[in-house]
Each structure stands twice: as C-alpha cells, then as structure tokens.
Amino acid sequence: MTEASTANPNNNKSHRPRGERLDMAQQLQALRGDSSDAATVPEAAADAPSAPAQARPRPQKQRRSRKAQPAQGPQPQQQPARQQRKVHPVLERLFELYPNLFGARFLPLKRGVFEELIARHPEEFKAEELKVAMGLHARSTRYLESVAAGHPRHDLDGNVAEAVAPEHVHHAILELHRRRSQRTEEDLRPQLVARLARAVETSGLDREAYAVLVRSRDANNNAVLDEALALLAEQAAKREALLRAFEASGRSSEKEFADMYGMNPAEVARTLQRVRSERAAAAGQAAAD
C-alpha cells in the first residue's frame, strides 16, 4: 500500500468503475419493480415484447344430463268412476211413447195415470213391472224437483189435469233437502226455510191451515215449518206497518210517500196493494165465519 492510498482513502472510491454503480442501481430498481407499474421497469425490459402467458387449460367438468323430473307433489286421489245406472226397460219404453212426460223434462203426473197406462197398453206393460217403474220415476230427484216447484199435474196427452196438493209440494221440498244435505257440509237450513215460506204463500192457504195440513211426527221437520211460519208472520207485520205509516203520513200518493223515505215507489205500491188485499180477504173470511 502506497502513501497516496493511505493518505487519501477516498481516492479508491472515486476510481471505482461506473459499471459497478449501474449494477447496484439495476438491482435496486429490480427490487422496486415488484410493486411499481410498467413505467418503472428498465427501458430494455419495457421495450422487449412480452411473451404471451400460456393459460393452463382448466379441466372441463363433465356435466351429467339430468332429465327434468316433475315436482313430486301430493297426487290427487282418483275417485272411482260412477257406474251408470241402467234405466228400467219400462221407463225407456215410456220415454218412447211419451217423451214430453218422461223425457228430458219431467212433469208431475195426474193421479190415476197408472190405471190409464194399463188401459191404453194392455199388451205393452205388465202390471207389476209398470208399478216398479212408476215408483222409480216418482222417487227420482228430477221428478221431485218438478213437484216441489209446484208445476201442475198432467195427463198422458200432456194436458194440465190438476194442481199439485200443497202437502205433496211440502214433502217434496223436505226430501230434496235431505238428499242435498247428504252431499254437502254447507248449512242448507236457511234455504229450506225460505223455500217452505214461498210454498206456504203459493198454496192459497193461511198459515194456520197450512200447518195443520203438513205437520207430521218428525220433530225436526216441524221445527223447520215453524221457522218458515215465523218468517212469514214477520214479513206480514212489516207490510202492515208500512200501510199504517202511509195512512198516517197524510201523503196523497204512494210515490210521494216512497220519495219521502227514499224507497222504491214501485215496490212500495206493490206492498201496499198486497196488504190491502190481505185485509180484504181477512174481512171476507171473518164475515163468512
């Protein structure tokens, strides 16, 4: 070691090759390049075209084809098909002979029609078979509906023979109600009461006479009858009250009276006319007694 080197040790540092500094700088810049963007990369590395990265092929999953299956829900229970009842052969023959009475629409038959059929067709029907067939016909729901509706009785020629007796209408209504109640859980009693009330009104009898005619030993049927009669009594009381209100109003016309209370004039006129007729009928009955 010379004196020059020992006297000024910085001289060794000043004479280091420049390339060594560049190597240090490059190393420092390379370390920083991990977190910098492409602008901080050395020009040589930035200008060099980057090799396309080879993407690893992803293993394709084999998709199993699944057939769409319908949702498993509660399967409705299949009800057994009703077996169609065979029509009695005598009824089929009656339909051919009298389609207006035994066809699509049933009509109440006059009393004594059995004997008339035997007399008209002695070789066509046997008495026992005809009796069975006529019983099936009279107990059918369609025939009972015709009786309950109050349609008049007809002869074999389709002519009106007589009115259906009020007690027959009453019992037909009760039987239809019994059959319908067996097929539903709905409360059909209000409908029955209303229908019996209409039957009483169309019978031409007063409430007391009707009750005497149709009352039976069945307590439930009698209770329904009492409800229908009570409903009719309530309606009659309302009509009577309306007539008294009109007479006390001092109005000269029924229309003025209806307008004063906001009621339907036509309905008020019908109701008042009905009350007057009922009063006249009651007065005539009292005079006859």
Kindly report which listed range (14-18, 142-146, 210-214) carries the lowest average pLDDT score. Answer: 14-18
Q: Where are the domains of the chain?
A: 87-164
The pLDDT value recorded for residue 6 is 43
Among 177, 239, 238, 226, smallest CA distance to 200 is for 226
pTM score, two decimals?
0.67
Among 38, 37, 33, 35, smallest CA distance to 49 is for 38
Rounded Cα–Cα distance for residues 72 and 86 (Å): 40
C-alpha distances in Å from residue 119, one per residue of 116, 130, 236, 242? 5, 12, 49, 57
Q: Give 216-239 pLDDT, tens digit per residue.
A: 999 999 999 999 999 999 999 999
Kindly report which listed range (4-8, 114-118, 266-270) carries the lowest average pLDDT score. Answer: 4-8
Confidence band for 283, pLDDT divided at 50, 70 and 90: confident
- For the chain, the distance separating the N- and C-terminal CA atoms, rounded to the nearest angstrom, is 169
Confidence band for 214, pLDDT divided at 50, 70 and 90: very high
Q: Give 156-176 pLDDT, tens digit per residue.
A: 999 999 999 999 999 999 999
pLDDT for residue 37 is more than 60: no
pLDDT for residue 41 is more than 50: no
Rounded Cα–Cα distance for residues 180 and 186 (Å): 9
Altogether, the residues listed in the chain come to a count of 289
C-alpha distances in Å from residue 43, one per residue of 29, 135, 191? 12, 116, 102
The pLDDT value recorded for residue 44 is 36
CATH (one of 1.10.10.10, 1.10.3720.10, 1.10.1710.10, 3.40.50.720) for 87-164: 1.10.1710.10
